[in-house]
């Protein structure tokens, strides 16, 4: 910080707010802390009685907070996002589309480990709508060393830290397993739940089949459904330890590359996800998906719908927060489940 003559202040950064009082008209900050003094400001400052100013020394190698915020926002990404104007050293990013919001957590962690700057985002993996806030960036001091920004850019790497991907999968085949349902002993109350959950992402159930228990039966149904022009295959029921539970074995036998059978999520421990060679996902949905308000199916569906390939580590990461607290009135996704 240094004291300089107002006439010499063009291009310098003010260290504090400057109040202007025009009797009977206005009283308030005429210039904000952080403002970069322009030629036109000089007569105004002089009229406010400011013949000298306290300014930050804009030495080479220092960056103003507004320019720094833009450098940080650039690390976040632009595609399918809107940027607010830079105000008081902050930029807010919002979604321009409906889709799934993704965060590269490890690289975001690395950037935020650097002092004097920050990027805060909403949790990744969930659905966002146009206008939803995604992230905000700013630096902590009014001016920051260029070197710090370079460190952040290095930690972030070349790919954007954040992305929003539109929902692109449109159709699903549902295979409802269980002799009690296939034989009509009880009504099928699982399929309507699955249809409703898919519909929230614009996915239609274009194929549906009921099959009796038994690995051969389920396998035959899966093979039949795989040949149809559907974007994903879903099997309901038969996912646990009962001798008649043969869905996981049938999915494996159908040639899927299994990402996970089992996940650190309750409800949803018995969930299975695999992919066929052509990239289409196949899932085994345990009984809890039918009766619980929110389950692992809700946690993975945004990414499945956006054709973002899930890996084993994505499931491992669910463990902390993967326990649904079973609140009397469910507020999912506005709760800690899966976060």
- The residues binding ligand LQZAQKY5 (CB under 6 A) are 176, 178, 180-181, 186, 188-190, 236-242, 245, 269-270, 286-288, 290
**89/287 with CB nearer ligand MOO:** 287
Q: How far is the CB of 117 from ligand LQZAQKY5 (least distance, A)?
A: 44
Eight-class DSSP state of 110: H
The C-alpha atoms of residue 36 and residue 131 are separated, in whole angstroms, by: 30
Q: How far is the CB of 213 from ligand MOO (least distance, A)?
A: 18
For the sheet with 127-128, list strands across it.
127-128, 99-103, 162-166
The C-alpha atoms of residue 230 and residue 328 are separated, in whole angstroms, by: 37
**76/218 with CB nearer ligand MOO:** 218
Q: How far is the CB of 321 from ligand MOO (least distance, A)?
A: 15
The C-alpha atoms of residue 272 and residue 81 are separated, in whole angstroms, by: 33
The site string for ligand MOO over 280-319 (x = CB under 6 A, - otherwise) reads ------x-x-------------------------------
Element (H, E) at 76: helix 65-76
The listed partner (ligand MOO, ligand LQZAQKY5, none) that binds 237, CB under 5 to 8 Å by sort, is ligand LQZAQKY5
Residue ranges in 254-273 that form contacts with ligand MOO under rule CB under 6 A: 266-270
**34/284 with CB nearer ligand MOO:** 284
The listed partner (ligand MOO, ligand LQZAQKY5, none) that binds 124, CB under 5 to 8 Å by sort, is none
User: Are the C-beta atoms of residues 165 and 211 closer than 8 Å to each other?
Assistant: no
164 contact partners, CB below 8 Å, separation of at least 6: 79, 80, 81, 95, 96, 97, 99, 100, 101, 102, 128, 134
């Amino acid at each position: 910080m240094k004291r300089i003559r107002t006439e010499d202040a063009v291009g310098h950064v003010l260290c504090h707010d400057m109040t202007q009082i025009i009797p009977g008209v206005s009283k308030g900050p005429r210039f904000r802390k952080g403002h970069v003094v322009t030629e036109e400001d000089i007569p105004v400052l002089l009229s406010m009685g400011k013949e000298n100013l306290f300014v930050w020394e804009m030495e080479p190698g220092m960056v103003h907070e507004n320019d720094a915020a833009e450098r940080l926002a650039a690390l976040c990404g632009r595609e399918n996002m809107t940027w607010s104007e830079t105000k008081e050293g902050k930029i807010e990013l919002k979604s321009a589309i409906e889709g799934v919001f993704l965060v590269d957590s490890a690289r975001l962690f690395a950037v935020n480990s650097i002092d004097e700057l920050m990027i805060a985002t909403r949790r990744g993996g969930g659905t966002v709508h146009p206008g939803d806030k995604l992230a905000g960036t700013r630096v902590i001091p009014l001016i920051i060393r260029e070197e710090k920004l370079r460190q952040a850019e290095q930690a972030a790497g070349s790919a954007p830290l954040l992305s929003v991907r539109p929902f692109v999968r449109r159709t699903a085949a549902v295979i409802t397993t269980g002799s009690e349902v296939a034989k009509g002993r009880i009504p099928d109350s699982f399929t309507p739940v699955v249809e409703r959950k898919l519909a929230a992402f614009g996915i239609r159930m274009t194929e549906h089949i009921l099959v009796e228990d038994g690995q051969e039966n389920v396998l035959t149904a899966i093979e039949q459904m795989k040949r149809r022009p559907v974007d994903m295959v879903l099997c309901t029921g038969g996912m646990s330890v009962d001798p008649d539970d043969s869905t996981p074995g049938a999915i494996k036998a159908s040639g899927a590359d299994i990402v996970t059978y089992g996940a650190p999520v309750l409800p949803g421990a018995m969930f299975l996800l695999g992919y066929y060679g052509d990239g289409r996902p196949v899932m085994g949905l345990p009984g809890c998906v039918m009766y619980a308000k929110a389950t692992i199916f809700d946690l993975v569906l945004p990414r499945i719908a956006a054709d973002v390939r899930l890996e084993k580590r994505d499931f491992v990461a669910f463990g902390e927060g993967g326990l649904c607290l079973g609140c009397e009135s469910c507020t999912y996704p506005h709760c800690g489940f899966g976060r």
